[in-house]
Amino acid sequence: MMEEISFEEIKRLQQGEKQVFNKIIAIYQKRVTALCMKYMLNMDEAVDAAQEVFCSAYVSIKSFGFKSKFSTWLYRITVNQCINRLKSIKSRNAIIDNRHYIDDEEKREQLEFVTDGRKLSDEEMELKETGTAILRELDRFSEMDKSAIILSDMEDYSTGEIAEILDMPEGSVRSSISRTRRKLKEILEKKKGAER
Amino acid sequence: MDKKEKSFESRMKESLKFVGSRMDESMKVPGDFADKVWGRIGEPNPSLASRLRRLLLSGKGLAAACACAVILVAVIFINKIYKPGIITAGKPASRENIAMNQGSSGNAVKEKQAVIAQGKYAEITVPQPTRQTSGNENNQKPPALAAINPAVNNQQAEPNQAKAMNAALNSRANAAAVNTGNKQVSSAGMQKQTPDNDVKSNTETPSGVSFGIKNNLIHPLNGDMTELDYTAPPECNVTIKIYDRKGRLIKDIFSGSGQPGSHTEYWKGDDSNGAVVDAGIYIVYIKICSFEKEETVGVVK
């Protein structure tokens, strides 16, 4: 069970008790940074995005209405922050040389940390290969489709929670997930066929 | 959804989960994460540790830390090394000053208290010293001179003289604490009283030799004089000399085989030519048979 900040403490923060925000940072900094990492696929970018997330959360803490869990509210800010960043990176790179924002080689290097220097078994190696390939391909999908897959398959959120975080109907989340998976399958199979 | 598609879905989920968990495991959040967040917010981190860190890193904090360190060192120096306040600003010690010294060095401090305390008469009994003198006594520097703080040199103004005397008397007491661990102070001696500035210490040996000094802070121009009382046994050489703080002989008060019994000699703050000496610290050196003793006398003008 993940630690959650209580509503009581959030009320105190809303009333001006700034120390409470340090507790929020301590509880959620790792989770938020990890989620940013799954979007940005770059540690420095992820940390930077996570700091921006907390900054936004502090500024808009008074708008938290106690209707959802605080973590859900914070993850919504995180997802929006990451999506906006990815958009701005994509448009920046499009202006520079019209290439996809990070080429495959660069991304492969960035994902090397996944092995963390540990020797992987054959099965783990295969999982890693497939997982990193999916992550690379996910960049070609819309931000909402990518977010639905990340939150569902990497973060283990339920469809209801994803709908709340992404602020969209549950049915849309379900269809987005199944559509993205199907497309991913096609792409990966095509790639496999081409390799053979 | 056919079986093949289902198996791909689960495979995909498993792969992403594996990569995600490896990412989480290898995630290292920087230590200054919170500070950087507060920096972006534009407000100082309200945590106590952060405030202290900021204070120390700022110039003011560093200055405050340095000031605290200097004060701490000064307090340690005053309490453990300097031990101030037997005579302050030309006046005899106050009870407070004496109290400050009480916890510092056992018998030596008690001796200091007894000798210097305002208007009090003290009698101190000292066991026969084992130290023997040799060579020409006239040229010999009294051992107590080594104990005088060199910082008291060239004292001219009266308050400074008092400070110098204070330091010298402290040194004497401290040296006594080191050298005579078996020295005993008579508590009854604290009860007899003499007028202001009349300080008398009476030192007696088990063999009947005794030596006492009265009025160890004199103003020669006002006719003050130091009274030196001693008792000598028969067939015993007695030497009483005055030295300055550098060990130079100022005046030979008495040398020779004295009559047995109690005697009193006086020093009027003059040298062997009869001229009044400069203000400062002087040592009265007395040797009766094999017993020798040094006392400090302050001269003010």
pLDDT number for residue A30: 92
Look at residue B270 and tell me if it is in a domain.
Answer: yes
pLDDT number for residue A45: 87
| Cβ contact A22–B46 (<8 Å) | yes
The model's confidence at residue B205, banded by pLDDT at 50, 70 and 90, is low
- Give yes or no for a contact between B34 and A32, defined as CB atoms under 8 angstroms apart: no
pLDDT number for residue A98: 43
Identify all chain B residues contacting A18, using CB atoms and an 8 Å cutoff. Answer: 43, 46
Beta bridge partners of B244: B282
Q: Give per-residue pLDDT as tens, A104-132.
A: 555 555 565 555 556 777 888 888 888 88
Q: Which chain A residue lies closest to B30 (C-alpha atoms)? A: A47
Q: Answer yes or no: is pLDDT of B214 > 80.
A: yes
Q: Answer yes or no: is pLDDT of B162 > 60.
A: no
B178 and B210 in one domain? yes
Nearest CA-CA partner of A78 in A101, A45, A56: A56
Tokens of B16: 């992403």
- A153 at interface of B, judged by CB pairs closer than 8 A: yes
Instruction: State which amino acid sits at residue A26.
Output: A
Of A18, A30, A38, the CB nearest to B20: A38
| Cβ contact B27–A115 (<8 Å) | no
- A11 at interface of B, judged by CB pairs closer than 8 A: no
| Cβ contact B20–A59 (<8 Å) | no
What is the pLDDT averaged over residues B175-184?
Answer: 38
- A132 at interface of B, judged by CB pairs closer than 8 A: yes
- Give yes or no for a contact between B218 and B298, defined as CB atoms under 8 angstroms apart: yes
Q: Give A116's DSSP letter.
A: T
**A63/A90: higher pLDDT:** A63
pLDDT number for residue B176: 41
What is the pLDDT averaged over residues B169-185?
Answer: 41
B293 and B145 in one domain? yes
Q: Answer yes or no: is pLDDT of B31 > 50.
A: yes
The model's confidence at residue B198, banded by pLDDT at 50, 70 and 90, is very low
Considering A79-83, A113-117, B14-18, B79-83, the range whose residues carry the highest mean pLDDT is A79-83
- B6 at interface of A, judged by CB pairs closer than 8 A: no
B164 and B123 in one domain? yes
CA distance B135 to A156: 100
Q: Cβ neighbours of residue A26 under 8 Å, at least 6 residues apart?
A: B34
- Give yes or no for a contact between B19 and A154, defined as CB atoms under 8 angstroms apart: yes
What is the pLDDT averaged over residues B186-208?
Answer: 46
Q: What is the pTM of this model?
A: 0.49
Tokens of A112: 């090397």
Look at residue B88 and tell me if it is in a domain.
Answer: no
B9 and B154 in one domain? no
B161 and B38 in one domain? no
CA distance B169 to A77: 76
Domain boundary among B82, B101, B121: B82
- B2 at interface of A, judged by CB pairs closer than 8 A: no
- B20 at interface of A, judged by CB pairs closer than 8 A: yes
B193 and B239 in one domain? yes
Structurally, chain B folds into a number of domains equal to 3
- What ipTM goes with this model? 0.82
Look at residue B5 and tell me if it is in a domain.
Answer: yes
| Cβ contact A127–B15 (<8 Å) | yes
Mean pLDDT lowest among A2-16, B75-89, B169-183: B169-183
| Cβ contact A134–B12 (<8 Å) | yes
Look at residue B61 and tell me if it is in a domain.
Answer: yes
- Give yes or no for a contact between B117 and B98, defined as CB atoms under 8 angstroms apart: yes
Domain hosting residue B51, numbered range: 31-82
Q: Give per-residue pLDDT as tens, B83-129.
A: 544 444 444 444 444 444 444 444 444 444 444 444 444 343 344 44
CA distance B237 to B230: 12
**B129/B80: higher pLDDT:** B80
Q: Give per-residue pLDDT as tens, A43-61.
A: 888 999 999 999 999 999 9
What is the pLDDT averaged over residues A89-93?
Answer: 73
Q: Give per-residue pLDDT as tens, B225-241.
A: 899 888 888 888 888 99
- A184 at interface of B, judged by CB pairs closer than 8 A: yes
Tell me the CATH number at B275. 2.60.40.4070
B286 and B171 in one domain? yes
Identify all chain B residues contacting A55, using CB atoms and an 8 Å cutoff. Answer: 37, 40-41
Q: Answer yes or no: is pLDDT of B130 > 70.
A: no
- A124 at interface of B, judged by CB pairs closer than 8 A: yes
What's the mean pLDDT when you consider all of chain B? 66
Q: Which of B5, B7, B27 to mutate to test the interface with A (most CBs of A within 10 A)?
A: B27
The model's confidence at residue B45, banded by pLDDT at 50, 70 and 90, is confident
B247 and B166 in one domain? yes
Nearest CA-CA partner of B151 in B170, B175, B176: B170
**A133/A81: higher pLDDT:** A81
Beta bridge partners of B262: B231
Q: Nearest CA of chain A to the CA of B90: how many Å?
A: 58
| Cβ contact B37–A51 (<8 Å) | yes
- Contacts A–B by Cβ distance under 8 A: 103
Beta bridge partners of B297: B282
What is the signed CA dihedral for B58, B62, B63, B67, rounded to 10 degrees? 150
B49 and B105 in one domain? no
pLDDT number for residue A105: 54
B22 and B117 in one domain? no
Of B25, B33, B45, the CB nearest to A116: B25
CB atoms within 10 A of CB A90: 15
Domains of chain A by start residue, with CATH: 1-101 (1.10.1740.10)
- B175 at interface of A, judged by CB pairs closer than 8 A: no
Look at residue B69 and tell me if it is in a domain.
Answer: yes
What is the pLDDT averaged over residues A6-32?
Answer: 92
What is the signed CA dihedral for B195, B200, B202, B203, rounded to 10 degrees? 160
What's the mean pLDDT when you consider all of chain A? 84
| Cβ contact B16–A58 (<8 Å) | no
CA distance B101 to A57: 62
What is the pLDDT averaged over residues B196-203?
Answer: 48
DSSP chain B: --HHHHHHHHHHHHHHHHHHHHHHHH----TTHHHHHHHHHTS---SHHHHHHHHHHSHHHHHHHHHHHHHHHHHHIIIIII---SSBTTBPPPHHHHHHHHTTSHHHHHHHHHHHSTTBEEEEE-PPP-----S-GGGPPPGGGGGS-GGGTT--SHHHHHHHHHHHHHHHHHHHHHH-TT-EE-SGGGS-B-STT--EEEEE-TTS-EEEEE--EE-GGGT--EEEEEEE-SS-EEEEEEEETTS-EEEEEEEEEPPSEEEEEEE-SB-TTSPBPPSEEEEEEEEETTEEEEEEEEE--
Q: Which of A36, A54, A192 to mutate to test the interface with B (most CBs of B within 10 A)?
A: A54
pLDDT number for residue B89: 40
B111 and B76 in one domain? no
B36 and B124 in one domain? no
CA distance B107 to B285: 22
CA distance B227 to B288: 16
Of A22, A116, A185, the CB nearest to B8: A185
pLDDT number for residue A114: 57
Q: Nearest CA of chain A to the CA of B64: how many Å?
A: 25
**A89/A145: higher pLDDT:** A145
Look at residue B109 and tell me if it is in a domain.
Answer: yes
